[in-house]
Structure 1
Amino acid sequence: MNDTELRLKADAVLARLVGDASGEARLRDDQWRAIEALVAERRRALVVQRTGWGKSAVYFVATALLRAAGEGPTVIVSPLLALMRNQVAAAEGAGIRASTINSANTQEWEAIQAEITEGNVDVLLVSPERLNNPDFRDQVLPELTAATGLLVVDEAHCISDWGHDFRPDYRRLRTMLAELPAGVPVLATTATANARVTADVAEQLGTHAPADGSGTDTQAEGALVLRGPLERESLSLGVLRLPDAANRMAWLSDHLEKLPGSGIIYTLTVAAAEEVTAFLRGQGHTVAAYTGRSENSEREAAEADLLANRVKALVATSALGMGFDKPDLGFVVHLGSPSSPIAYYQQVGRAGRGVEHAEVLLLPGREDEAIWRYFASLAFPGEDQVRRTLEVLGAADRPLSLPALEPQVELRRSRLETMLKVLDVDGAVRRVRGGWTATGQAWEYDAERYAWVARQRETEQEAMREYAATKECRMEFLRRQLDDEEAAACGRCDNCSGPRFTADVSAVTLEAARGELARPGVEVEPRKMWPTGLPAIGIDLKGRIPAGEQAATGRALGRLSDIGWGNRLRPLFTQGAEDAPVPDDVVAAAVDVLADWAKVPGGWGTGAPDAPSRPVGVVTVDSRTRPQLVRSLGDRISEIGRMPLLGTVTYAEGAPHGGLARSNGAQRLRALHGALTLPEPLAAAVAKANGPVLLVDDFTDTGWTLAVAARLLLRAGAQGVLPLVLAVQG
């Protein structure tokens, strides 16, 4: 088949893909160039093109042509379920039979594998996490690799830890690439990669892009790199600075219906997404929350509602990002600034794909940088923590699961898992049935690289500050951050053509927003199960905590990650903050929380049969970092509530204090076990009090300090323990 005939067939597939009954749809020259490289030349290609360029059209058209030539199915490695659902639907429109294997459909894996074997699947979408699932890696992947006709790596910037959304599972692709039969084409795509990330991804995929990212059609060892301009003609960018979180929420409510079509409101944290959703719904807007905390069914329903314009907006974290495809999305508003201009460009790229005009607006907040610092603190662990993990695995006589590792390693589970995935790719550990094992291979800690990545993050944060403050073209600024050599003034942003929105908010809405954010009180769930693996480190606790030794559901004024009380409380807990007596407004809020707590169904003020009786005393928890804050809070609650201050749960002499910052629950409990103690006067007062006590502390993260203190008090005779803290981390 000559090039002309192949091009005609490719255009015909495109027409089916986009639903063009006239058959007049045509691939652009740059799209055809990529397809030609994959189908006619069987090459590897890296495509770095703006959102909406049509990267999915390239691999679906290539799939149809390769399948018609008798090649095996296309395997698409895709990072998000939202992306998978959209792509399966798009493939069906072109007559391409697509299936997906991911954590949400494990019951269908066997049937899908049978269909692949029978040749009834044209496209298989898999999540990167599947690549190192032991069963999938050892039983499915070898046969799949041997049968693959085209490998597609979507959102390929995730491979690079220089990028904004590094995912170590993606690095397993290097193994799959090495084992592909000769002549199998490979396509890697992304819209959000600067020159450094492009070069890193290209190197890892074997496409060897030039380090400066230059050129639009680069030949290198049989590879093709297509890198195009990143202009988005439909987007009108703007920044609006408002005095505080209440003004930003009020502005959203007053202006939401004026924004075109339906869209996405991004927040930096789950807590903020939930707060904003509750407020906007209370103001009569049809919105839904979309976060990593949402159930999969809830996320699917929210996506469907947005696609069908049944909601004005989804209030989302970055969980709604790559791959969500709604061509007529009319706006993207950020309530809080992402820490990276590349991440920001990726998120705003959801809008304006199939409409002439879309609004993009950034509403930065004073809490942004504190949230940036928190997420930056979760970077790759220090060498001592990595070496400790390798030592524990090396000494074990069996694979260790994450829960079994936690008591012996000073890392939280999500961070521990990410570290193990990196070590797995580096060959130092291996994931097997039952957990992880050490391979015994030599491994070097790349301190220079990790330090460089940290500096890169700081540079990106500074760039976002500059973006919000610049008087120059905002689109040009973003394009230059992504090393787009064709970056030029857009003529549409607020700096090019003047602001399109004012900071005006109605007094009524502002008052409502202030009331919403000023309302303190979130529940603090008690710990109900001991961490796994404690007996292995000499602590004879396991299974469920007996009901008689559990704290009741407690209360906090707010989460440090929210935009209401979080903004008020955060300065009290910032590293280096001066310890001082509790502020009057915080005391007043604590009193309000206690009053509301008494009124909830089952609360002590309701008189319900199963309700606990009113607290008969106050107990504080010892603090060496904020003793004045905790002591004064206990004193004030005792005075206002007319309850005696019974005493303080203290640390035994010589005991390590308070555990490990941001460590996991098992390590925290290990540090607390035997360290917290009840002085004899306190134990006697609790036994004599004949009722529940209010346990007062400043902050809870893992919840184990409250759990251990409550257990001691209950064993001493307290008839219930009701925890009250100022802040929770989550």
Structure 2
Amino acid sequence: METSAQAFGTATPEQRAAARAAAEGHLRALVGRDDARLREDQWSAIEALAVDSRRALVVQRTGWGKSAVYFVATLLLRSRGAGPTVIVSPLLALMRNQIASAERAGIRAVTINSTNADQWEPIHAAINNGEVDVLLVSPERLNNPGFRDEVLPRLAATCGLLVVDEAHCISDWGHDFRPDYRRIRTLLDELPAGIPVLATTATANERVTGDVAEQLSGSRHLDASAPNSVLVLRGTLDRESLRLGVMKLRSVEQRLAWLADFVASQPGSGIIYCLTVAATQEVSSYLRERGLDVRPYSGQTEAEDRSRLEGALVAGELKGLVATSALGMGFDATLSYVVNLGAPSSPVAYYQQVGRAGRGTDDATVVLLPQPEDRDIWAYFASLAFPPEQVVRQTLEVLATQGTMSTAGLETYVDLSRNRLETMLKVLDVDGAVKRVKGGWEATGQPWSYDAERYARVTESRQREQAAMLGYLDSPVCRMRYLREQLDDAGAVDCGRCDNCGGLLLSTQVNEQFVQAAQERLSRPGVAVEPRKMWPTALANMGIELKGKISGQAEEGRAVARMTDLGHGQQVRELFRDTTPDGPVPLPLVQAMIQVIQDWRPQVDCIVVVESTRRGLLTADLANGLSRYLRIPVVGAFALVDPDVVPGAGATNSAQRVAAVRRRARLILDDGDLEGRRVLLVDDQVNTGWTLTLAAQQIREAGAEAVMPLVLAVQA
């Protein structure tokens, strides 16, 4: 089997002409058009890969045809007996889309990802039998022990082409840093000589481009003038079909009413992007009430439903999807509009999202509706940065002393959330300090240094991106030019199509009847508070003998709103800001709480209040007000008994939080016992849910028949 196509520079002009003719034929099969022709840059990339066995970085706008480059190159290489192409793709939507495209050209494509584990063995067998042309792999697979140690070395030795899609993720400077992508650096160095490599992205400025090109050269650090150096093809990032605009409206009710009018006026289908999962649910529900056939889509959407929704949008069967960024990179459809309800945290991320529109159409409208809470959401995601050095050192010490541990087991020793702990461990794995093995993680004993400079550099980069995004909202210059300049597009000029250029007119007029209807919908308070059902794993490591199913659960409770909600969410976010002083429940939230009680009608006969250090006046006022309104007594408190346990201690993961709450609080009754009584358990807000869980358990152990939690807000 050939593992290289042609030594650089040795192909004759006749061979190159024949290769191009074959490439043009493959392109026509791929797109289903007899008049299709390769762009010169597309051919340059294909030639570098399939004729000269080089490494190439293609930075081109969304819709330019980057996937055509690697599919055509694959067909050329396979015709010469090369092994299958391995494509590292970051999102399942991208994989599904690319497999469909490959099949149109007769390319046998398969994928290995988290949703099809039952197919991995037959896929591996098909690869070994030479029955697969393209294997799409999620970056997370690169960190799976079995895949990393058994499958990946074999693929690296036999593949005909390696493709890294959305290659900006390789770079710490990229806007979408993913630790799993860092393993690609090692993979590049392990490839046999002569295996071509293609990296593609639509969202890289000059700094990211240079960083990715350097990493593509691997440990060999190829000289830019060498014949086998990395070929960088960077084109214009203009999107001639897009008309960009910003619409600033005072209230969330106006934004929703305007959004419904806008979506209804558009000729085709599109995407409404939101910053949170809760917003996708709320916005899609409102738009459906306005008669628009839209559906929510997020990382919490089941895999089967995602595929079905993507297909419905592509087919024009839906007016739109209300989505988080989970519907992002590589999704290919003919869409007439994209609306962002809330601004992404960087112009680069925004450019990528708006790039979903305008493919296959000459005219698409893109509108950004900024919201006051955008910066709060940015700050939350920024808080998930790489942990401080002492936490990392603690993790390494635990692994060194305890041996192999699962992530859940580590949570009992390390105060980090599950996702943040996993991300940190993946970085340490690539750095060589830990290794993922069957059963969890183990320390390697290799020396490791905390790269504070790199983490600070990335944080500073994020802050500059956020400032640039705020600048986009208020800039009087051409919208497309602004975005292109943020991506260091040297050819950026005024587009003549955006609202600042006069090519797009967006009316601020909103039907007051619809504004009122939106306000009435948003003013409906009430969110279910689901009880915890299972204890965290490995609590025995902390001397806590709790495991399995929780006995003495609370019933389903209620909250006025989520912190991320569009309606009362604004009020509770303001109430719980660190700068807001402690005090009684504000009147609008009193009225909302009364409405929740009237809708819910809990059958209770007494109240237990959860004491709070930071919001003592608030929780006391809430409990006493409910006591007067329901005419039932406050009979006790889940009281603070250990002031040394600070508020919020252990809140980043379940095991640590259970331990902290058990030390911090205990049920103390003022009025008799709770035998046979139905208790309303009152707190200010729910973060992890473990305070209510442990309070409910003690209340039930004291003889209560039922516990009904009632709070002002839930965090998510």
* TM-score calculated relative to the size of structure 1: 0.94
SS in 1 for 2:500: helix
In 1, Cα distance between the equivalents of 2:166 and 2:630?
56
- How far 1:680 sits from its partner (Å)? 4.5
Whether 1:256 aligns to 2:263 is: yes
Contact 1:207 1:225 in 2 (8 A): no
Percentage of pairs with the same residue: 57
Aligned counterparts of 2:163 and 2:408: Cα–Cα separation in 1? 34
Q: Provide, for residues 33-68 of structure 1, a one-character-per-residue CA deviation record: whole Å limited to 9, x for no partner.
A: 001110111011111111111100000000000001
Where does 1:278-357 land on structure 2 (aligned, <5 Å)?
278-326=285-333, 328-357=334-363
Deviation at 1:203, TM superposition (A): 2.5
Q: Cα distance, 1:255 vs. partner?
A: 2.1
Q: Distance in 2 between matches of 1:700 and 1:162?
A: 36
1:153 matched residue in structure 2: 164
CA deviations on 1:293-343 (whole Å, 9 max, x unpaired) are 1111111111011011111000000000001111x2111000010111100
1:107 matches 2:112: no
Q: Return the alpha-carbon distance in structure 1 between the equivalents of residues 535 and 701 of structure 2.
A: 17
In structure 2, what is the equivalent of residue 686 of structure 1? 674
Q: Does 1:711 align with 2:714?
A: no
- Name the CA distance, whole Å, in 2 between partners of 1:76 and 1:710: 50
Answering whether residue 593 of structure 2 is matched by residue 635 of structure 1, we say no
State the alpha-carbon separation in 2 of the partners of residues 309 and 150 from structure 1.
35
Distance in 2 (CA, whole Å) between partners of 1:649 and 1:418 is 35
CA contact (8 A) 1:193 1:482 kept: yes
CA separation of 1:653 and 1:433: change in aligned 2, threshold 3 A:
closer
Task: Show the counterpart of 1:17.
Answer: 30
Counterpart selection for 2:274 from 267, 270, 283 = 267
1:169 to 168, 177, 180: 180
**SS in structure 1 opposite 2:446?**
coil
- What is the alpha-carbon distance in structure 2 between the residues aligned to residue 293 and residue 594 of structure 1? 29
Q: Distance in 1 between matches of 2:431 and 2:554?
A: 43
Return the offset for 1:202.
Answer: 2.2
Does the Cα contact within 8 Å between 2:637 and 2:669 map onto a contact in 1?
Answer: no
Once residues 187 and 663 of structure 2 are traced to their aligned partners in structure 1, the CA distance between those partners, rounded to angstroms, is: 50
1:237 equivalenced with 2:244 (yes/no): yes
Q: Which of 568, 579, 582 lines up with 1:579 in the alignment?
A: 582
Q: Matched residues in 1 for 2:498 and 2:121: separation?
A: 51
Q: Is the 8 A contact 2:189 2:219 kept in 1?
A: no
User: What RMSD over aligned residues (CA atoms) do the two structures have, in Å?
Assistant: 1.7
Unaligned runs of 5+ in 1: 211-216, 599-603, 605-613
State the alpha-carbon separation in 2 of the partners of residues 32 and 696 from structure 1.
67
> How far apart are the structure 1 equivalents of 2:642 and 2:155?
61
> C-alpha distance in 1, partners of 2:258/2:669?
56
Contact 2:614 2:647 in 1 (8 A): no
Q: How does 1:192-231 map to 2 (within 5 A)?
A: 192-206=203-217, 222-231=229-238
**In structure 2, the residue corresponding to 1:420 is in which secondary structure?**
helix
- For these two proteins, the number of residue pairs brought into alignment is 702
Does 2:425 match 1:414?
Answer: no
Single out whichever of 132-141 and 31-40 deviates more from structure 2. Answer: 132-141
In structure 2, distance between residues paired with 1:108 and 1:263: 33
The answer to whether the 8 A contact 2:559-2:714 is kept is yes
Distance in 2, Cα, partners of 1:284 & 1:633: 39
**Partner Cα distance (2:208, 2:707) in 1:** 52
Mapping of residues 206-605 of structure 1, within 5 Å: 206=217, 222-326=229-333, 328-397=334-403, 399-497=404-502, 499-546=504-551, 549-598=552-601, 604=602
Q: Which runs of 5+ in 2 are unaligned?
A: 1-13
Q: How does 1:70-81 map to 2 (within 5 A)?
A: 70-81=81-92
Instruction: For 1:60 and 1:257, locate their aligned partners in 2 and report how far apart those are by CA, in whole Å.
Output: 37
Deviations 1:652-691 (A, max 9, x none): 1455143426410111111111331122525x3534xx42
Equivalent residue number for residue 601 of structure 1: none
Q: 1:385 to 1:527 in 2, by over 3 A?
A: same
**Counterpart in 2 of 1:723?**
709
Alpha-carbon shift at residue 162 of structure 1 (Å): 2.0
Opposite residue 576 of structure 1, the aligned amino acid is T
> 1:234/1:661 Cα in 2 relative to 1: closer, same or farther (>3 Å)?
farther
SS state at 1:673 partner: helix
Partner residue, 2:633:
644
8 Å CA contact 2:497–2:504 kept in 1: the answer is: no
User: Structure 1 CA distance, aligned partners of 2:327 and 2:443?
Assistant: 35
Counterparts of 1:518 and 1:143, CA distance in 2: 59
Secondary structure, counterpart of 1:37 in structure 2? helix
For the structure 1 residues 208 and 28, does the alpha-carbon distance in structure 2 shift closer, same or farther, using more than 3 Å as the test? farther
Does the aligned pair in 2 maintain the 1:658–1:668 contact within 8 Å? no
Q: Distance in 1 between matches of 2:247 and 2:69?
A: 38
Between the aligned partners of 2:622 and 2:215, the Cα distance in structure 1 is 55
Structure 2 counterpart SS, 1:360: strand
Return closer, same or farther for 1:207/1:199 CA change in 2, 3 Å cut-off. Answer: farther
Q: 1:219 to 1:426 in 2, by over 3 A?
A: same
Cα distance between partner residues in 2 of 1:386 and 1:616: 49
SS of aligned partner of 2:76: helix
Question: Structure 2: how far apart are the matches of 1:658 and 1:502?
Answer: 48
In the alignment, structure 1 residue 676 sits paired with structure 2 residue 660: no
Q: Could you tell me how far 1:218 is from its partner in structure 2?
A: 8.1
Whether the aligned pair in 2 keeps the contact of 1:367 and 1:563 (CA below 8 Å) is: no
1:363-393 CA-to-partner distances (Å, cap 9, x unmatched) read 0011111111111111111111111111111
The answer to whether the 8 Å contact 2:244/2:480 transfers is: yes
Give me the whole-angstrom Cα distance separating, in 2, the residues matched to 1:254 and 1:264. Answer: 15
| Aligned residue identity for 1:372 | W
Instruction: Give the 3 Å change call, closer, same or farther, for CA 342–207 of structure 1 in structure 2.
Output: farther
**Residue aligning to 2:3:** none
Contact 1:530/1:545 (<8 A) preserved: yes
Change (3 A) 1:565 1:209: farther
CA deviation map 1:585-636 (0-9, x unaligned): 10111111111112xxxxx4xxxxxxxxx21112111111111111111111
SS of 1:555's partner is strand
- Equivalent AA in structure 1 for residue 578 of structure 2: Q
Tell me whether 339-348 or 717-726 shows the greater mean CA deviation: 717-726
CA distance in 1, matches of 2:110, 2:656: 42
Q: Which amino acid aligns with 1:481?
A: Q
Deviation at 1:499, TM superposition (A): 4.3
Note the C-alpha offset of 1:257.
1.7
Secondary structure class of the residue paired with 1:483: coil
Aligned residue for 1:214? none
Distance of 2:130 and 2:189 partners within structure 1: 24
Q: Distance in 1 between matches of 2:225 and 2:236?
A: 15
The 2-side partners of 1:624 and 1:428 are apart by 40
Paired residue for 1:608?
Answer: none
Q: CA deviation at 1:219?
A: 6.5
One-letter amino acid of the counterpart of residue 522, structure 1: V
Aligned to 1:64: 75
Deviation per CA, 1:160-179: give whole Å up to 9, x if none.
23222111111111222122
**Residues in 2 aligned to 1:220 and 1:708: alpha-carbon distance in whole angstroms:** 67
